[in-house]
């Protein structure tokens, strides 16, 4: 029996990695997938391999690994971890993943405010295990068959979060370690947190949950500008140097994934700490030798040169967008690197812009409808196209090179709002999550 289980585990643990979408920003952590043959047109009925009714809402992007799909949802007051079959959309297993932990009465409800909920972070998987994180701090790891391996509540272990909004950073799984960034304010907010609270990075062994490192990540930012809802992004530079790229607290930094120590730092887009309400939502994105750091609320997008050490200073900046005078700005969506260019989706300007990765110049700009919901899902690149979706479930697809609109369809329901999951592409299919359903879009056999 043990041999059979070992063979099953091995079969599930060796997916076609280039076809998987194991992290909320895809196999290369940049929002792109190397696939072809995706359908040119689709709708709720056309080119739908299957549509799965979801038990509850959530903003987590579906993670696709081998024959399995993993995502989270809120069902009543319960935090739920889900596993679906990739071929059929049928539910394989469902787990009540929440511990019931609440920091205090101020955070006693699962939905802390009307813009988010605890099922916003995306899961991450290495093909053997899948890690789920929820905004109340619950971190739970299962094997792909659904057997719980370990759990802990990050707030209970390290102290209550001090964030204005519901925490939504997704974990990163790299080289057997679950990396998380907790970049928070140093004073209480909404009655949660404490004076002098530190921002930090933490690494946990994915097999056991044992802490491998904890590193304080200092910043001179103040109040809400200390807060970051971004996700750590792995990068392997020249000479094989591995680093985790972190953004928040008005700066972008690179860290050694072994111990969390800081390798380099650049900033700031907020000189003199003039803006105290500039929390950061977009994660960094790497391409063409630079890492993008997106200042919030109309601030510039900054391209920082990779490969440096210490304080990079002015020489570390490759280019910077004009900020509010330009469509190259974003408040919530994380940019995409694809087809040798950056693609910046601006929820503030309702535009999608292709940016020259070397110079920061606009290549093309497309206006998006701004009366049908905010554009806050991060863009996805695949099969020569760029896929974006707004709060109402309107999906628009553009040619990556020309910027021409090639398809437009509403995948949401009439009363949908706050759809925020990004579109995932894996194994020749496009996965679109709305409030009620997960759609698997794929060309018919032979086409």
Give every CB contact of residue 55 below 8 A, 6+ residues apart in sequence.
73, 75, 80, 82, 94
At residue 17, the pLDDT reads 55
* Alpha carbons 289 and 117: distance in angstroms, whole number: 35
Q: What angle do CA 337, 441, 68 make, to 5 degrees?
A: 80
At residue 7, the pLDDT reads 34
CA 345 to chain centre: 14
* Alpha carbons 151 and 97: distance in angstroms, whole number: 9
In DSSP terms, 386 is beta-bridged to 381, 398
Cα→Cα distances 54→85, 97, 436, Å: 13, 16, 5
* Alpha carbons 413 and 351: distance in angstroms, whole number: 23
At residue 52, the pLDDT reads 98
At residue 444, the pLDDT reads 77
Tokens at 239, concatenated: 């000479």
Domains, the chain: 16-441 (2.130.10.10)
At residue 372, the pLDDT reads 78
At residue 8, the pLDDT reads 34
At residue 385, the pLDDT reads 98
* Alpha carbons 85 and 421: distance in angstroms, whole number: 19
Query: Taking the model in full, what pTM does it have?
Result: 0.93
Tokens at 370, concatenated: 């701004």
At residue 102, the pLDDT reads 77
* Alpha carbons 327 and 300: distance in angstroms, whole number: 10
Q: What is the pLDDT along the chain (447 residues), one digit of tens a residue?
A: 433 333 333 333 433 456 999 999 999 999 999 999 999 999 999 999 999 999 999 999 999 999 999 999 999 889 999 999 999 999 999 999 999 887 764 444 433 455 678 999 999 999 999 999 999 999 999 999 999 999 999 999 999 999 999 999 999 999 999 999 999 999 999 888 899 999 999 999 999 999 999 999 999 999 999 999 999 999 999 999 999 999 999 999 999 999 999 999 999 999 999 999 999 999 999 999 999 999 999 999 999 999 999 999 999 999 999 977 789 999 999 999 999 999 999 999 999 999 999 999 999 999 999 887 899 999 999 999 999 999 999 999 999 999 999 999 999 988 888 899 999 999 999 999 999 999 999 997 545
CB contact burial 104-141 (16+ within 10 A = b; e otherwise)? eeebeebebeeebbbbbbbbbbbbbbbbbbbbbbbbbb
In DSSP terms, 440 is beta-bridged to 50, 431
Residue listed under structure tokens 């020749």: 428
* Alpha carbons 301 and 265: distance in angstroms, whole number: 16
Cβ neighbour number for residue 198 with a 10 Å cutoff: 15
């Amino acid at each position: 029996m043990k041999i059979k289980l070992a063979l099953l585990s091995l079969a599930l643990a060796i997916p076609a990695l280039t076809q998987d979408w194991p992290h909320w920003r895809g196999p290369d952590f940049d929002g792109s997938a190397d696939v072809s043959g995706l359908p040119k047109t689709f709708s709720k009925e056309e080119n739908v391999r299957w549509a799965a009714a979801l038990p509850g809402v959530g903003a987590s992007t579906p993670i696709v690994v081998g024959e399995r799909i993993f995502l989270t949802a809120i069902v009543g007051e319960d935090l739920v971890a889900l596993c679906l079959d990739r071929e059929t959309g049928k539910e394989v297993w469902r787990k009540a993943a929440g511990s019931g932990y609440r920091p205090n009465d101020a955070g006693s409800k699962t939905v802390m405010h009307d813009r988010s909920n605890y099922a916003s972070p995306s899961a991450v998987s290495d093909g053997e295990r899948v890690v789920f994180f929820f905004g109340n701090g619950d971190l739970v790891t299962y094997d792909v068959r659904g057997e719980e391996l370990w759990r802990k509540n990050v707030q209970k272990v390290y102290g209550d979060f001090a964030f204005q909004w519901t925490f939504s950073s997704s974990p990163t799984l790299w080289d057997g370690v679950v990396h998380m960034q907790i970049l928070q304010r140093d004073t209480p907010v909404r009655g949660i947190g404490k004076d002098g609270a530190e921002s930090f990075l933490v690494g946990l062994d994915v097999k056991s949950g044992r802490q491998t490192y904890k590193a304080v990540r200092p910043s001179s930012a103040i109040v809400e500008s200390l807060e970051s809802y971004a996700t750590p992004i792995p990068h392997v530079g020249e000479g094989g140097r591995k680093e985790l790229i972190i953004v928040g607290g008005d700066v972008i930094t690179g860290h050694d994934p072994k111990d969390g120590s800081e390798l380099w730092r650049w900033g700031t887009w907020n000189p003199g700490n003039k803006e105290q309400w500039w929390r950061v939502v977009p994660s960094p994105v790497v391409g063409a030798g630079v890492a993008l750091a997106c200042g919030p609320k109309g601030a510039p997008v900054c391209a920082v040169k990779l490969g440096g050490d210490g304080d990079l200073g002015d020489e570390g900046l490759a280019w910077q967008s004009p900020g509010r005078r330009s469509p190259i700005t974003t408040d919530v969506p994380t940019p995409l690197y694809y087809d040798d260019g950056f693609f910046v989706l601006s929820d503030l300007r309702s535009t999608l812009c292709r940016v020259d990765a070397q110079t920061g110049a606009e290549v093309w700009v497309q206006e998006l409808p701004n009366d049908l919901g905010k554009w806050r899902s991060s863009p996805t690149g695949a099969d020569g196209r760029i896929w974006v979706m707004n709060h109402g479930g309107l999906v628009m697809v553009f040619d990556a090179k020309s910027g021409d609109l090639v398809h437009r369809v509403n995948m949401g329901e009439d009363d949908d709002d706050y759809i925020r999951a990004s579109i995932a592409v894996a194994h020749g299919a496009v996965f679109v999550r709305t409030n009620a359903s997960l759609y698997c879009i794929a060309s018919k056999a032979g086409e």
